[in-house]
Amino acid sequence: MQKAIFTLMERCVACKSCEIACAVAHSQSGILATAQFEEPLPRSRVRITSAGAYSFASRCVHCEDAACIAACPTGAMHREAKTGVVAVDQDRCIGCWMCVVTCPFGAVTADPGTGKALKCDLCAARGAMGLGPACVDACPTGAMVYLTPDELAGMRRSATAMASVGAVEEIEESVALWRNFKGGRAI
């Protein structure tokens, strides 16, 4: 089962570290101090979006049945056979924006410098070096994780179990305090 980036909204504080890390990872220099002076400026492939009281790191989810691939008239949008990543062949992209129109997540944008499609590639260059996606590695709160769906489910089960145990311990403490109070003893 392929790994994917998941966003745990309850942990996101909208610090935008993921956006910065993504832009730097896709810059010419790969260094923040110099990337901000590059022409064209490097662009992030992840965007922090407000969702009521929460924030969400919106990015390509590399859909199994990707609408952008089906809509692309030139085959520029394709799935990498080795990694399963939905990628853009910049040489074949004609900037028709069918991928932008059909993406249900708004994850494909226009690169103003080239006029071609721009989207998350799961940091292919970093992956080749054995590293995870830059956005995940930069997230200070652990709101972005790079896991298989089974690993995410296991993480959620563990968190639920820990919260349940904590709730039981709190209830036991409350009951003990109530018993002490009813018995007329000082608390």
What pLDDT is stored for residue 158 in this prediction?
87
Question: Do 31 and 76 belong to one domain?
Answer: yes
**In the chain, how many domains are there?**
2
Question: Do 105 and 183 belong to one domain?
Answer: no
Q: pTM value?
A: 0.82
Residue 14's contacts (CB-CB under 8 Å, 6 or more residues apart) are 48, 50, 55
Question: Do 88 and 166 belong to one domain?
Answer: no
What pLDDT is stored for residue 182 in this prediction?
60
C-alpha Rg value of the chain to the nearest Å: 22
Question: Do 125 and 83 belong to one domain?
Answer: yes
Q: What is the pLDDT along the chain (187 residues), one digit of tens a residue?
A: 689 999 999 999 999 999 999 999 999 999 999 999 999 899 999 999 998 889 989 999 999 999 999 999 999 999 999 889 999 999 999 999 999 999 999 999 999 889 999 999 999 999 999 999 999 999 999 999 999 999 999 988 888 888 877 766 777 777 777 667 665 554 4
From 130, 156, 161, 154, select the one nearest 1 (Cα to Cα): 154
Question: Do 155 and 142 belong to one domain?
Answer: no
CATH number for the domain spanning 133: value is 3.30.70.20
CA 17 – CA 138 distance, rounded (Å)? 6
Question: Do 47 and 58 belong to one domain?
Answer: yes
Question: Do 135 and 163 belong to one domain?
Answer: no
Q: 78 φ, ψ to 5°?
A: -150, 170
What pLDDT is stored for residue 187 in this prediction?
47
What region, left, alpha or beta, does residue 158 occupy, with left being phi > 0 and alpha being psi -120 to 50 degrees?
A: alpha
List 79's β-bridge partners, or say none.
86
Q: Alpha helix locations (H) across the chain?
A: 17-25, 32-35, 67-71, 98-102, 124-128, 134-138, 149-182
CB atoms within 10 A of CB 49: 14
List 135's β-bridge partners, or say none.
none
Exposed, middle or buried, 84 (CB in 10 Å: 0-12/13-18/19+)? Answer: middle
Question: Do 100 and 84 belong to one domain?
Answer: yes
Q: Could you identify the residue written with the tokens 């179990």? A: 161
Question: Do 67 and 108 belong to one domain?
Answer: yes
CA 97 – CA 113 distance, rounded (Å)? 15
What pLDDT is stored for residue 184 in this prediction?
55
**92-116 as b/e: b if 16+ CB within 10 A:** ebeeebbbbebbeeebbbebeeeeb
Question: Do 19 and 74 belong to one domain?
Answer: yes
Question: Do 132 and 156 belong to one domain?
Answer: no
What pLDDT is stored for residue 29 in this prediction?
95
Q: Which domain holds residue 171?
A: 149-187
Question: Do 105 and 165 belong to one domain?
Answer: no
